[in-house]
Amino acid sequence: MLGRTLREVSAALKQGQITPTELCQKCLSLIKKTKFLNAYITVSEEVALKQAEESEKRYKKGRSLGDLDGIPIAVKDNFSTSGIETTCASNMLKGYVPPYNATVVQKLLDQGALLMGKTNLDEFAMGSGSTDGIFGPVKNPWSFSEQYRKKRKQKSHGEKEDSDWLITGGSSGGSAAAVSAFTCFTALGSDTGGSTRNPAAHCGVVGLKPSYGLVSRHGLIPLVNSMDVPGILTRCVDDAAIVLGILAGHDPKDSTTVQDPVKPFVLPSLTDVSKLCVGIPKEYLAPELSSEVRSLWSKAANLFESEGAKVIEVSLPHTSFSIVCYHVLCTSEVASNMARFDGLEYGHRCDVGVSTEAMYAATRREGFNDVLL
């Protein structure tokens, strides 16, 4: 049951093949068995079981809230969750319990989803390996597969056992590992410059960064406001489309979201691609692109063409400048966002009382890792 897609397990719940409580308990059991992956910072067992109980009551009355009712989910630990610690994998926010839910979290809960816990990440989502948080690195579930173990044994001898694992990518590595290890059916990540798509690729799951403004950032603790987007991690593209359909839409609490008060976001049907025109930017076929990726790219293009779609070469001449813009925005906005953590309003505060300046410096030195400092 845990290996099924979101749509399949939703159908199983509606047909009474399994109850929300049974499904929740299966996931909680697997979370405990895979604790060595370090995918979760906080496991909200009591909350999840209570939500499962309420979901079960709705199913018995024939009043399911939607496709996510009774479905276990996980949330990256940089999204605010009411009553549940939100640390950003940092000493700075360790012990911080938000009084409200992020909009995307609330939308999932409104659909009846079961919150299994908060997932591990690089501190404040600044990283690409999920190795730089205070709770330690996240280990890729594929590191412990029989295929990898055999391959590893053939290649190396005498290495320490604790080094015999692969990274998940980052910074949403905990969410990717949680989905890949079957401890939940979908998870929220955040994506600034690849932080959802990167770990998805490493862990063999689907990672989607929605277009900026399509999904609300309210309640996502910011890293780079101009580029941060809540990301979606699932086991297949169809599941990602379901979750996106739930999350997308205008939020009055986030002025950057699309203004569409007339109708909710509806995903277009892509069963017929004959009228679709797919552009392949020539600038992206860089010399550094691996032959494997280039081959897969060509196969995807050929598949579209075989189904009747039109595939053309396009040019995005300003691509090279986007890299420069990314680094300028990233460094300046990270510095600006981290400046708020000064020990005065919230978060960690050191015991140094010599002066305000000394307190600032000591608080930030104790609260941030070397990457952010």
- Please give the positions annotated as active site: 76, 171, 195
CA distance 142 to 34: 12
Sheet holding 72-76, edge to edge: 40-43, 114-119, 72-76, 186-191, 229-234, 206-208
Q: Which of 233, 18, 39, 231 is nearest to 136 (CA)?
A: 39
Residues linked to residue 72 through DSSP beta bridges, in sequence order:
114
Determine the straight-line distance between the first and last CA of the chain, rounded to whole angstroms: 45
Phi, psi of 233 (to 5 degrees): -120, 125
> What secondary structure does DSSP assign to 296-354, as a single string?
HHHHHHHHHHHTT-EEEEE--TTHHHHHHHHHHHHHHHHHHHHTT-SSSSSS---S--S
User: Amino acid letter at 138?
Assistant: V
Residues linked to residue 187 through DSSP beta bridges, in sequence order:
74, 233
Q: Which of 224, 188, 11, 22 is nearest to 115 (CA)?
A: 188
SS3 category, 12? helix
CA distance 136 to 53: 33
CB 133 within 8 A of CB 94: no
229-234/310-314 β-pairing? unpaired
Tokens of 299: 């196969």
